[in-house]
């Protein structure tokens, strides 16, 4: 008789919040496709839809822990973070940008994951790595991040014309 319903109320509130998040995502997705359709560039729309499909497939793999190796986890991370821009580069025949996009956005995601983990917040990439590596996860993620930043720096040294765009990507 005296058992509190508080946990049940918190769970209901959590589910409401989650449902609102999904609805907001659906709304913005619909708005996104509406704006794309106004552009009438069907080939671009198809390329972006393919990128979204890839992102969602890799997110599912990450959350279902379907990766066999830590390298597979890393490939999923960079796909999740960069697939839309990769497809955009393909569409506009700017393939020379693709490695740079991978380095910057992949490194940004790893940095964010490390911060989330340090703040004791939900960090799905970090969790996937911990499941695979245990206590070595942080060392491996930091190593990957350093490697991506090193490749980014090398790319910039070889392509001095893109420093302005780098600053835009870094601030995303």
At 13-50, the pLDDT tens digits run 777 787 888 788 778 777 877 777 787 788 888 898 89
Task: Give the 3-state DSSP-derived string for 54-86, with helices as H, strands as E and coil as C.
Answer: HHHHHHHHHHCCCCCCHHHHHHHHHHHHHHHHH
Q: Are residues 33 and 61 in the same domain?
A: no
Q: Please tell me the total number of residues recorded for the chain in this structure.
A: 172
Instruction: Report the number of distinct structural domains present in the chain.
Output: 2
CA separation (Å) from 118 to 82, 124, 164? 24, 13, 31
Interval 156-172: pLDDT, tens: 888 877 766 666 666 75
Domain membership flag for residue 45: no
For residue 59, how many other CB atoms are within 10 A of its CB?
Answer: 14
Interval 77-97: pLDDT, tens: 999 999 999 999 999 999 999
Distance CA(159)–CA(169), nearest Å, equals 15
Residue 4 lies in domain? 1-40
């Amino acid at each position: 008789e005296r058992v509190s319903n508080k946990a049940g109320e918190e769970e209901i509130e959590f589910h409401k919040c989650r449902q609102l998040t999904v609805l907001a995502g659906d709304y913005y997705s619909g708005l996104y496709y509406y704006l794309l359709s106004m552009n009438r560039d069907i080939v671009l729309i198809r390329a972006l839809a393919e990128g979204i499909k890839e992102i969602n497939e890799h997110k599912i793999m990450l959350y279902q822990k379907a990766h066999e190796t830590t390298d597979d986890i890393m490939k999923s991370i960079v796909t999740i973070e960069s697939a839309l821009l990769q497809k955009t580069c393909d569409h506009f025949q700017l393939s020379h940008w693709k490695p740079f996009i991978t380095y910057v956005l992949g490194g940004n995601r790893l940095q964010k994951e490390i911060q989330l983990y340090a703040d004791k917040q939900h960090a799905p990439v970090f969790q996937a790595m911990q499941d695979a590596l245990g206590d070595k996860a942080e060392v491996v993620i930091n190593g990957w991040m350093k490697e991506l930043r090193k490749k980014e720096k090398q790319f910039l040294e070889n392509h001095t014309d893109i420093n302005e765009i780098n600053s835009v990507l870094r601030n995303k």
